[in-house]
Amino acid sequence: MNPHDSRDITPPQDIIRSVVELCAGCDTCRTLMDQDCLFFPELYRLWDLEKESGITITEAELRSLVELCTLCSLCPCPKIPADLMEAKSRYIDKEGLPLTTRLLTNVPRLARLCGIFPKLVNSLQSNKAVSSLIKKVTHVHAERQLLMFPEQSFFQWAEQKGLTNRMEGSRNVAYFVGCTAGYIFPQVGRATVEVLEHNGLTVQIPPQHCCGMPHLVEGDRTTALQRVQSNMENLLASVQAGNDLFCSCPSCGYFMKILLRERACYSEAYQKSVNAGEDEIKIPKPGWGGTKHRVLKKSMYKDILKDDGYFSSLDPMGRIGLAEQLSDAGEYLARLHTEGSFNTNFTAIPERMVYFAPCHQREQKIGSPYPELLSLIPCITIERLGGMYCCGMGGNLGFKADFHDKSLEVGSPLMEKIRELAPQAIITDCMSCRLQFNHALPYPVFHPMEILARAYQFRITSPVNCSLKT
Ligand code: SF4
Ligand code: SF4
Could you tell me if the CB of 395 is within 6 A of ligand 2?
no
**C-alpha 24 – ligand 1 centre gap (Å):** 8
For 438-468, the pLDDT digits (tens) are 999 999 999 999 999 999 985 444 445 566 5
To test the pocket of ligand 2, the residue of 72, 84, 359 to mutate (highest count of ligand atoms within 8 Å of its CB) is 72
Residue 9 pLDDT class (50, 70, 90 cuts) = confident
Please compute the mean of the pLDDT values over residues 268-289 and round it to a whole number: 90
pLDDT of the residue at 461: 45
CA distance 192 to 447: 9
Please compute the mean of the pLDDT values over residues 180-198 and round it to a whole number: 94
Could you tell me if the CB of 85 is within 6 A of ligand 2?
no
To test the pocket of ligand 2, the residue of 16, 22, 34, 70 to mutate (highest count of ligand atoms within 8 Å of its CB) is 70
**Residue nearest to ligand 1 atom 5, measured at CA:** 23
For 390-402, the pLDDT digits (tens) are 888 876 677 777 7
Q: For ligand 1, which residues put their CB under 6 angstroms from it?
A: 22-23, 26, 28-29, 75-77, 80
Asked if 206 and 159 touch (Cβ cutoff 8 Å), the reply is no
Domains and CATH numbers, the chain: 12-95 (no CATH), 99-138 (no CATH), 154-260+324-330 (3.40.50), 264-323 (no CATH), 344-457 (3.40.50)
User: Quick one: what percent of the chain has pLDDT higher than 70?
Assistant: 84
**C-alpha 320 – ligand 2 centre gap (Å):** 24
Q: Which residues contact 38 (CB under 8 A, 6 or more apart)?
A: 68, 70, 406, 409, 410
Name the closest ligand to CA 360.
Answer: 2
**Residue nearest to ligand 2 atom 8, measured at CA:** 37
To test the pocket of ligand 2, the residue of 40, 42, 359, 391 to mutate (highest count of ligand atoms within 8 Å of its CB) is 40
**Residue nearest to ligand 1 atom 4, measured at CA:** 29
Name the closest ligand to CA 394.
Answer: 2
Please compute the mean of the pLDDT values over residues 154-160 and round it to a whole number: 94
Question: What is the rounded average pLDDT for all residues in the chain?
Answer: 86
To test the pocket of ligand 1, the residue of 75, 83, 84 to mutate (highest count of ligand atoms within 8 Å of its CB) is 75
Who has greater pLDDT, 341 or 362?
A: 341
**Residue nearest to ligand 1 atom 1, measured at CA:** 77
Closest by alpha carbon to 374, among 415, 437, 438, 426? 426
